Amino acid sequence: MSLIQTDFENSSKVLAFKTAHHHNDVLVLDADVDPKDEINKSVVIGFLVAIVAVGIIVNSVVIYLIASDRKLHRAPFYFLICIALMDLCKSVFCLPFAIEVVFHDFSWLYSQETCTAIAFSVSFFTVSTALCFLIVAIDRYLFVSSTRFYHRCSHGLVNLAVVIVGWGVSFCLSFPPIFDKDAFKFIPEEMQCTFYHLPYRQNETLGYTICFIAILALILFFYTRLFFFMRERRRMAPLYHEPARSSDWAFFGLGANGQALINLLNGFAGAPNPLAGNARNIQQNFGRVVNLRVLKNEHISRLFFLASTAFIVIWIPYIFQIFVKVYNESWKLSPTFILLSTMLTFSHVAVCPMVCLFFGSPLRESMFRKAHTCCQSAPYNDVPTSDGDVQEQNIRCIELSV
């Protein structure tokens, strides 16, 4: 009799758990695992709010800088606008639902149709971001390997057409699962409506995951090809003198192009210089000839490589837990690991634009330039300034061999 009573109590607890998480015909799966037991809700909410806030601010800044600076009106930064726009839409329209889910004890309060719409939006925005990173990788490879073809074909309308094609591919990957009622489910450990991955014998969503992994692999493939192409064709740069320029006679600090110190290190100096014995001595001391010129836009390729690598690394834990669900059903992952891997996928909307903004010299220079302009926009009062003084200040750019 006691055994029957114990079994009845256990079954009642499981049924109560399932009933408590059943809202508007949206069934919470994996009812035997309660994420509230191992997770601090306030910490998760704070982390998600920080991701949404940083994602909205940083992506808005990236879009504004590229749109307002004419020097950034070129192919790779057009694609960066697309990436920032997708991340901004995900931060505004999708991630607030995850915050609400955690706030209401990891439960979904809306209908199945809303769950499907949110899952489709997350999938579309994520795949669009990955495809834009792939487009940038192809763009950088063509710029270096086929320069003439690149400059002949890379125009505004062509870039817009490529972005639209990328959006079309993202739509084709994300839209078909809508017709499968079991494809999109709310998963409490992941705080979101997403693909519900069954074991591989019953799985119908594994193809989407494989396509997403193929996109990430192609990104790494093109950057690897770019690296080997540039390494095979690397040549020694000739040692030459370039005049130092400055808006005053200091040649250092604000108003100078920094070439004075470079000429000193390279051995071009008017006075005797212990570093200027010969080029061999310079290379022994510094390893290579220092030059301010950047050829082939390596800094831009490096910028997008860092952003793409950050995107791929962020998604690795989540892809790992998907394959565990598909191929090893008996291995139950910790709810904490599943939640952390999901929050990492959310964080790419803030991490990738921050990498582009603070590690990319063109965007960083544009941001500092606009901040400097805003700080000096207030006019000085009671300071007489004639047109002659302004004209003299503008044309006083001095070239001097140091």
Each domain of the chain, given as residue ranges in start order, spans 36-237+325-363, 244-290
CATH of the domain spanning 36-237+325-363: 1.20.1070.10
Would you say 106 and 91 are in contact if contact means Cβ atoms under 8 Å apart? no
pLDDT in tens, the chain (402 residues): 443 444 434 444 333 333 334 444 443 444 444 555 557 888 999 999 999 999 999 999 999 999 998 888 888 899 999 999 999 999 999 999 999 999 988 889 898 889 989 999 999 999 999 999 999 999 999 988 888 888 888 888 888 999 999 999 999 988 877 677 778 889 888 889 988 877 776 666 778 889 999 999 999 999 999 998 888 776 655 666 677 777 777 676 666 766 777 777 666 655 544 444 444 454 455 444 555 554 457 788 888 999 999 999 999 999 999 888 888 777 888 888 999 999 999 999 999 999 988 887 788 888 888 887 777 755 544 444 444 444 444 434 333 333
Tell me the torsion sign for CA atoms 372, 375, 378, 382: negative
* Residue 294, CA atoms < 13 Å, CB-side half-sphere: 8
147, amino acid identity: T
358, amino acid identity: F
C-alpha 184/C-alpha 376 separation (Å) is: 53
**Pick from 61, 59, 107, 51: nearest CA to 86:** 59
* Residue 191, CA atoms < 13 Å, CB-side half-sphere: 31
| pTM exceeding the 0.75 threshold for the entire prediction | no
Would you say 226 and 218 are in contact if contact means Cβ atoms under 8 Å apart? no
**Residues 303, 305, 310, CA angle at the centre, nearest 5°?**
100
Token pair in block for residue 283 = 């290379």
**What is the Cα gyration radius of the chain?**
28
Integer angstrom CA distances of residue 80 from 88, 128, 352, 359, 393: 12, 12, 10, 14, 37
pLDDT of residue 35: 55
The strand ranges marked E within 352-402 are 398-400
Helix and strand totals (H; E) in the chain:
14, 6
pLDDT of residue 275: 43
Would you say 254 and 170 are in contact if contact means Cβ atoms under 8 Å apart? no
pLDDT of residue 350: 94
